[in-house]
Amino acid sequence: MKRPIKKRASRPRPANPKLVVFNKPYGVLSQFSGEPGDATLKNWIPHNEVYPAGRLDKDSEGLMLLTNDGVYQARLANPKYKVWKTYWVQVEGEPSEDQLKQLCSGVELKDGMTRPAEVFSMPEPNNLWPRNPPVRERQSVPDSWLCIRIREGKNRQVRRMTAHVGLPTLRLIRAQVGPYKLATLQPGEWREEPPLW
């Protein structure tokens, strides 16, 4: 005799949905807890009822969204919704047309082919804050900036994509998720915005 499948009870949506737009500094974990000595979101975000909508690696910087609405959290982070994410990526080397074309078409990673992306060369972003520690520089090898827009979220995807085509990532900054942008936020700063969906 088959047992009936239990449906997980979903939490009711909050009466006052909250969305926090945060500029995560380099070296900070995208969670509220960690080992002793770890820098976590708790060091910057005073709210205790919001949770990250997606992750950003410890060695990456930029836009993180946090919300108290589980439905909205899934809408922003789940790859099935195909929300565009924009990254500013400093790479080692100068990209060729062929390398840019490969990134746009999709590259074969160990966990599968990436979806087509939007990729183009860009100047260094305006008013870019210094990174601490600084990015390593090699006098003999130039570096360049790329704008990469993807609609999925494989683990460390952008870094693996650029490495695959011979352009190792030196610095990675997430600048936009869906309609939400970093704008003038400096590392460690946050603001509240109304959820749009």
Task: Determine whether 50 is exposed, middle or buried from the number of CB atoms within 10 Å of its CB (0-12, 13-18, 19+).
Answer: buried
Give the contacts of 170 (CB within 8 A, at least 6 positions apart). 90, 91, 92, 135, 136, 143
Q: Are 19 and 72 in contact (CB under 8 A)?
A: yes
37 φ, ψ (degrees, to nearest 5): 95, -15
> Does residue 111 carry a catalytic annotation?
no
Of 173, 184, 156, 151, the residue nearest 21 (C-alpha): 184
Query: Among the options 38, 57, 59, 69, which is catalytic?
Result: 57
Q: Please list the active-site residues.
A: 57
